[in-house]
């Protein structure tokens, strides 16, 4: 018989387990422990670990059993191994092991990685709870980038959500780590991490940094995901656009411009920086053309803004220059539903001013009035006045809304 006296816990074993334990041999203790874990035999696990020191059970054996419990989602077995294994010093922090485990930290990291891999929320929670019982000097920091990496790589929502909980003061730093890790992996992983985005100055800064990186790498899908979450395409004085330029990402430059990158504002600075760093860059001529086009569009918008103004909450003024040097002003009054035409004389040509009032109902083409209404609303005018005018017109001319 292998045991010469009743070991600790013997009386708690079922009779069949006692018979099995009597037949144990030293060389198969590890295999028997693993079998107990796979079968979720809690009492047998407890018995083997409590008496293992006397019969050659090693720390490696216990740790293999622990990882087996995690992989099989045997939560009762896992808790028993953590509890008894720690008490019996099989999980001691300072002990060295032949298979490479050097501390309790590395064991916990391996166990958490396995829990993330099999997406076992119960196993993850049990490991986190056990870690919390350790004294502060032995406790693993759960915002450790390795642990964040496990959760991100395996897209383990429960684990990452717990680390990014709003009550966790380290959540912004964890989010930064998670997004960085996801960016190294795939757009799908970025999408996974972004579902935990919680707006704050720190997390918006993280989004912008990730956007710049994605632009530099020409990762269009990642750029779109980050912009959809609120990343600023013009942050850092055009840093995102500059990185696309610096890396000769022609398609990305066009894409960023289509998403609102302000080449008119930052074009001069970008071209100057590019000439300093790489005067022979193949993107130079292209960027110069884009810059000139952006400046022309900006000037066009400026002239359009000068062309339209509010002459009151319900009145839009459209002012056009005349060849003679005077001005033509069209006033669209949506309260009185009238168009007022004012021709301002040119003092140098000694021309007189003229003034004409036309009811909206007398205007054959109503498209100009519709455009004026949209522009008035765009400038912050009274939208209700425009809506009322449109409703009256449709009631008066129900067939097509035009006179």
Model confidence over 35-80: pLDDT tens digits?
A: 888 888 887 888 788 877 766 778 888 888 899 999 999 999 999 8
Residue 52: its pLDDT value, please?
74
Nearest Cα neighbor of 66 from 84, 50, 47, 87 is: 84
pLDDT tens digit sequence for 174-184: 899 999 999 99
**Domain containing 102: what range?**
1-140
* pLDDT-based confidence at residue 101 (cuts at 50, 70, 90): very low
Inside any domain, residue 237: no
CATH number where 35 lies: 1.25.40
More confident residue, 121 or 351: 121
Domain end marker among 107, 122, 140: 140
pLDDT exceeds 70 at position 146: yes
* pLDDT-based confidence at residue 9 (cuts at 50, 70, 90): low
Q: How far apart are CA 134 and CA 121, in angstroms?
A: 21
For the chain, what is the mean pLDDT? 81
Inside any domain, residue 403: no
Percent of the chain at pLDDT > 90 equals 26
Residue 266: its pLDDT value, please?
80
pLDDT tens digit sequence for 206-255: 999 999 999 999 999 999 999 999 999 999 988 999 899 888 888 998 89
Q: What average pLDDT does range 362-390 have in this prediction?
A: 88
Q: What average pLDDT does range 344-370 have in this prediction?
A: 78
Report long-range pairs for 276-282 (Cβ below 8 Å, ≥24 apart): 277/246, 278/246, 281/248, 282/248
Domain end marker among 117, 140, 163: 140
Inside any domain, residue 320: yes
Inside any domain, residue 251: no
pLDDT exceeds 60 at position 344: yes
Q: What is the pTM (predicted TM-score) of this model?
A: 0.62
Inside any domain, residue 183: no
Domain end marker among 140, 169, 187: 140
Inside any domain, residue 342: yes
Inside any domain, residue 297: no
Residue 366: its pLDDT value, please?
80
Inside any domain, residue 322: yes
Domain count for the chain: 2
């Amino acid at each position: 018989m292998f045991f010469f006296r009743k070991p600790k816990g013997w009386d708690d074993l079922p009779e069949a387990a006692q018979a099995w334990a009597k037949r144990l041999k030293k060389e198969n203790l590890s295999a028997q422990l693993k079998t107990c874990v796979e079968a979720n035999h809690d009492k047998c696990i407890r018995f083997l670990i409590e008496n293992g020191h006397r019969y050659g059970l090693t720390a490696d054996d216990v740790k293999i059993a622990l990882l087996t419990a995690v992989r099989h989602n045997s939560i009762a077995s896992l808790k028993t191994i953590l509890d008894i294994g720690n008490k019996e010093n099989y999980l001691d922090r300072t002990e060295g092991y032949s298979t490479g485990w050097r501390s309790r930290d590395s064991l916990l990291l391996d166990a958490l990685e396995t829990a993330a891999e099999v997406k076992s929320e119960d196993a993850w929670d049990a490991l986190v709870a056990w870690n919390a019982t350790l004294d502060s000097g032995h406790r693993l920091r759960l915002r450790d980038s390795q642990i964040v990496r496990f959760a991100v790589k395996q897209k383990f929502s429960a684990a990452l959500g717990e680390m990014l909980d709003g009550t966790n003061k380290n959540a912004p730093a964890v989010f930064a780590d998670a997004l960085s890790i996801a960016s190294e992996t795939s757009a799908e992983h970025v999408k996974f991490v972004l579902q935990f985005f919680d707006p704050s100055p720190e997390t918006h800064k993280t989004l912008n940094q990730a956007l710049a990186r994605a632009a530099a790498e020409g990762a269009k899908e990642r750029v779109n995901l980050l912009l959809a979450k609120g990343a600023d395409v013009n942050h850092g004085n055009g840093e995102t656009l500059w990185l696309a330029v610096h890396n000769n990402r022609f398609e990305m430059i066009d894409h960023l411009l289509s998403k609102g990158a302000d080449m008119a504002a930052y074009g001069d600075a970008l071209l100057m920086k590019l000439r300093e760093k790489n005067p022979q860059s193949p993107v130079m001529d292209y960027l110069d053309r884009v810059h000139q086009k952006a400046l022309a569009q900006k000037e066009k918008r400026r002239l359009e803004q000068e062309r339209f103004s509010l002459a009151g909450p319900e009145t839009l003024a459209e002012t056009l220059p005349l060849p003679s040097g005077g001005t033509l002003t069209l006033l669209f009054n949506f309260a009185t539903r009238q168009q007022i035409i004012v021709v301002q004389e040119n003092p140098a040509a000694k021309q007189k001013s003229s003034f004409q009032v036309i009811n909206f109902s007398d205007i054959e083409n109503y498209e100009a009035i519709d455009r004026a209404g949209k522009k008035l609303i765009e400038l912050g005018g009274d939208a209700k006045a425009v809506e009322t005018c449109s409703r009256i017109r449709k009631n008066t001319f129900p067939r097509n809304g035009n006179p």
